[in-house]
A and B are shown apart, each in its own frame.
Chain A
Amino acid sequence: MGEPLLRVEELRTHIWLDEGVVRAVNGLSFTVDRGQTMAVVGESGSGKSVVAQSIMRILPDRARIVGGRILFSADGGPPLDLATVPADGKLMRGIRGGAIGMVFQEPMTSFSPVHTVGNQIGEMMRLHRGASRAEARAAAIETLCAVGFPDPERKVDAYPFELSGGLRQRAMIAMAIICRPALLIADEPTSALDVTIQAQILDLLLALQKDYGMALLIITHDPGVVAHVADSVTVMYCGKVMETGPVGTLFEEPRHPYLQALLRSTPHFGLPEGERLQAIAGTVPDPLSSIPGCPFLSRCPEGDPDLCGHSMPSLHALAPDHLVACYRRGSVPEGEA
């Protein structure tokens, strides 16, 4: 029991571009407990997708994990550090799609257009479980049924282009869960879908999580998605954790100025007539620049260059499960904690 399912510690993933080095993930730590839903929320450029790619070890060629650990323990035994396993080795290939499933944003580009969905879903069983062709097909039909496919016996032979966006996303979820992974990573699983379908897919993920006892790591930019599915939330900004804690706490009493500003600026209902959304001034800093202090300083209403501009604030525990990285909330310079 003791060992959590996934513990990311001080993860650093850098991307080498022609213009310089992007510190996409820059000292990130969080934990996903068994059967729980963790949401990593951040804007584009915050590095949230690189986190998922780092865990799955499917980083693009220009990117590399340069530090930290990704401790994964599927069965509660001694954890394996995924950051050090060869990305294309047998071990990692077994975990990828086996113990950890992944759902991507765009189902059309994630499926091969020239194979049936049943083939592609069943392939997981053949690769990971050594199933026969017939067993794989049976498993594919069963899983399509589990993800709410109408008429799975017939649709198993459909090609991806024959399916609607919502069904394609269901098929991708089927592919990700057919091997009963302990962890399912979903990177913006509903951003490409219509509103009504989006809600159904999220509810499907939650239902499957309960049935299969999976943990869910959802990566999203949408506070609405977070509020709907997460147990815990990690708020990222420029590759760093700004605040992490239980979803209720973070939405009721956000403590980091970034999260407070993000929630105030999110379009939501119930604004009194005439009241305005409070936009966050400025933009995300240039990812190529190296910022010594808090990355949110340039947009922060409470920021003070003397206090916040020199080194990154450490994660300060406001409660055992509620951490915030802000000098105004009790953080000390990183490394001095």
Chain B
Amino acid sequence: MTGEPSVQTASGTGTENGRAPHAPLLVVRDLTKYFPLYQPWLLGLARRQVGVVPAVENVSFSVQRGETLGLVGESGCGKTTTARLILRALRPTRGEILFHVDGAMVRVDQLEGKTLRVLRRHIQLIFQDPVSSLNPRMPVGDIIAEPLRLHRVGTPAEVAERVKALMAMVGLDVQYLRRYPHSFSGGQRQRIGIARALALSPELIVCDEPVSALDVSIQAQVLNLLKDLQAELGLTYLFISHNLAVIDYVADQVAVMYAGRIVEMASKRDLFAHPKHPYTEALLAAVLQPDPKLRVDHQAGGGNGQPAGAPVGGCAYAPRCPYAVARCRAERPELIEVAPRHWARCHRVDEITLRPLPRRPRRAGGTAA
């Protein structure tokens, strides 16, 4: 398993076209994480490693300052592992994570101890589940203040001021400072989580399915809040979601992951209008749009429901791919730039034409009009 040729342009510095102000905030190159696979040994008294699970393999991308990169894929595709590697909750097996702090590029993958702690002021996380990610025995004010205390930022009076400002910023009533998480609704709890993530004024926020646990009517509130905060504070998001409609709303660039690898990456518009990877096509076909006129038959397209099999050497998607040929099962495709700033990992990218997201003809706006 030699490393694939790196994808220069995907993680390029962006200086070729002379747009230095758009220097990327985060660059990830060939990021790889293998988890050890154990089996019981000696009648179960011990265990031994029998192999590795390639949870994330050769993932490369960059996120421009102030933009949102959407990371999509099904459960188990490695999107959360990627996020945890960038946050350094996990140590990468190999690969580089470069993060722009105060004019310098920091090798996040090599940080240890104290310097890693400093990094955490710049990269924060918003969790999916607003219930389990908040300490039920801590009042909301303390939850939001905790990052400030841990990083010894400000005097107690300044912390109190900052907490109030943060609560106002995310639309929480400052009166509720002393209340506990259980007395808040799901949407409000997610606002608490957002306030906590903002406490240290980070540059990058990793949002891991931040609205998936929320009711439909509340999702829009939280998504709008995240967009407003981004505009106001110049935040950069790495936004993980399985919901393509949510990605369409928040993301600028989209990376599609399958079986630990990025299979397609492009601007949101290109990806949805001109998908270049069969898995992206299957994802788009599987979207249930809130529009009865866009009903489609999914048995035809989206694969056969088999879980992603262990790739033996060919394309990991080949077992599910309706376009797969012998070459796909024998030879692993690489991520190549198939159109300007549009990358896909497919042997047959020039031979097949894929269906875009079904849209209503005419009548712009559809049900939302």
Binding site for B on A (CB under 8 A): 43-44, 148, 150, 164-167, 194-200, 202-203, 207, 221-228, 230, 247-248, 251-252, 261-272, 276-281, 283-284
Query: Which residues in B have their C-beta under 8 angstroms from that of A202?
Result: 288, 298
A196-B302, A221-B215, A277-B249 known; A270 and B220 CB under 8 Å? Answer: no
Q: Among the listed B216, B220, B293, which residue makes an inter-chain contact with A223, where contact means beta carbons less than 8 Å apart?
A: B216
Please, how many angstroms separate the alpha-carbon atoms of A279 and B249 in the complex?
13
Do B74 and A195 have beta carbons less than 8 Å apart?
Answer: yes
- In the bound assembly, the distance between CA atoms of A7 and B307 in angstroms comes to 40
What are 11 residue pairs bridging A and B, where the CB atoms are less than 8 Å apart in the complex? A43-B216, A195-B283, A199-B302, A222-B216, A247-B292, A265-B216, A265-B219, A268-B289, A268-B291, A270-B366, A276-B224
Q: Which residues of chain B are near A269, meaning CB under 8 Å?
A: 244-245, 248, 272, 287, 289, 357, 359
From B246, which residue of chain A is reached at the shortest CB distance? A267
Give Cα A281–Cα B292 distance, bound, in whole angstroms. 26
With contacts A269-B248, A269-B289 taken as known, whether A283 is within 8 angstroms of B185 at the C-beta atoms is yes
**Closest B residue by C-beta to A226:** B290
> Which residues on A sit within 8 Å (CB–CB) of B366?
268, 270
A16→B280 CA distance, assembly (Å): 48
Residue pair A251, B185 in contact (C-beta under 8 Å): no
- Residues of B at the A interface (CB closer than 8 Å) are 74-75, 185-188, 215-221, 223-224, 227, 242-246, 248-249, 272, 282-283, 285-295, 297-299, 302-307, 357, 359-360, 364-368
User: Contacts A43-B216, A268-B245, A268-B368 given: A196-B286 contact, CB under 8 Å?
Assistant: yes
Complex Cα–Cα for A196 and B368 (A)? 24
Q: How far is the CA of A93 from the CA of B364 in the complex (A)?
A: 51
| Count of A-B residue pairs with CB < 8 Å | 159
A269-B289, A272-B365 known, 7 other contacts, Cβ within 8 Å: A194-B75, A196-B298, A226-B290, A228-B288, A263-B368, A265-B219, A272-B364
Residues of A contacting B243 with CB < 8 Å?
Answer: 195, 267
- Measured in the bound complex, the distance between the Cα atoms of B187 and A196 in whole Å is 27
Counting from the closest, the 10 A-B pairs by CB-CB distance are: A224-B288, A279-B220, A223-B290, A199-B298, A265-B220, A277-B220, A194-B74, A199-B286, A279-B221, A267-B245
How far, in Å, is A67 (CB) from chain B's closest CB? 27
- Beta-carbon contact of B290 and A43 below 8 Å: no
**Closest CB in chain B relative to A169 CB, distance in Å:** 10
Chain B nearest CB from A171 CB (Å) reads: 13
How far is B306's CA from A207's CA once the two chains are assembled, in angstroms? 19
Residues of B within 8 A of A203 (CB): 297-299
Bound together, the chains give a CA A228 to CA B298 distance in angstroms of 11
- Alpha-carbon distance A148/B365, docked complex (angstroms): 37
Residues of B within 8 A of A194 (CB): 74-75, 242
Is the CB–CB distance between A221 and B220 below 8 Å?
A: no
Structural contact, A228 and B295, CB atoms closer than 8 A: yes
How far is A225 from B306 in the complex, measured between Cα atoms in Å? 22
- Contact in complex: A263, B217 (CB < 8 Å): no
Looking across the interface, which residue of chain A has its beta carbon closest to that of B365?
A: A270
In the complex, the answer to whether B185 meets A276 with C-beta atoms within 8 Å is: no
Most buried by A among B74, B220, B287, B365: B220
Q: Given A44-B215, A224-B290, A269-B289, is A200 in contact with B357 using a C-beta cutoff of 8 Å?
A: no
Alpha-carbon gap, A224 to B242, bound state (A): 14
Q: Which residue of A lies closest to B306 (CB)?
A: A150
Closest partner residue, chain A, to B366 (CB atom): A270
Of A148, A267, A272, chain B has the most CB atoms within 10 Å of the CB of A267
Contact yes or no, A268 B187, CB < 8 A: no
- The answer for the CA separation of A269 and B149 in the assembled complex, in Å, is 42
> A227 contacts B295, CB within 8 Å?
yes
- Residues on A with beta carbons closer than 8 Å to the beta carbon of B285: 199
Residues of B within 8 A of A280 (CB): 217-218, 220-221
Question: Chain B residues with Cβ under 8 A from A262's Cβ?
Answer: 216-217
A278 & B220 in contact (Cβ 8 Å cutoff):
yes
B215 touching A166 by the CB < 8 A rule?
Answer: no
> Which chain B residue shows the least CB distance to A231?
B292
Question: Is A196 a contact partner of B289 (Cβ separation < 8 A)?
Answer: no
Cα separation A225 to B223 with both chains bound (whole Å): 21
